[in-house]
Amino acid sequence: MLTESIVLAVFICSIGGILLILIRKIPALNSLPQNGGIGIKKHQIVLDTEIKIKEILISFEKQVFLHKLLSWTKVMTLKIETRIDVLLRRIRKKAQQIDKEANNKKIDLPK
């Protein structure tokens, strides 16, 4: 019981200290700019890098890379499908020719 009351007292004092620090720092926090800038001019290389990073993040947000990947996959699938169709047509044509030749041989056989 004694240790619990000591821990509770330390906890209450800690929260009071945090509140005291916050109350004293509120005017300084209000004087800071809202957009996070501190007024230091950035170098052109840093600005260009930030712009490129923002463009990359926007493209990820719009899922441009996923769209390109899926479009490429669709095109490749259609190309493969077309090649398979051509091969199947050739095979069927050859099978029909073989059937015709077999039928002709049956008819041509002497009885």
pLDDT at site 1: 86
**Average pLDDT per 10 consecutive residues for the chain, totaling 111 residues:** 92 95 89 68 82 86 86 97 97 94 75 54
CB contact at 8 A, 65 and 59: yes
Q: Distance between CA 69 and CA 59 in Å, rounded?
A: 13
How is residue 41 annotated by DSSP?
P
pLDDT at site 41: 66
Q: Kindly list the domain boundaries of the chain, sorted by start residue.
A: 1-32, 63-111
* 33 Cβ contact list (under 8 Å, min separation 6): 39
pLDDT at site 79: 97
pTM (2 decimals)? 0.42
pLDDT at site 98: 92
pLDDT at site 38: 62
- Measured CA to CA in angstroms, residue 48 lies from 1, 43, 76 at distances of 62, 9, 36
pLDDT at site 4: 92
Two tokens at 14? 């800690």
- Quick count: other Cβ atoms within 10 Å of Cβ 59? 13
* 59 Cβ contact list (under 8 Å, min separation 6): 65
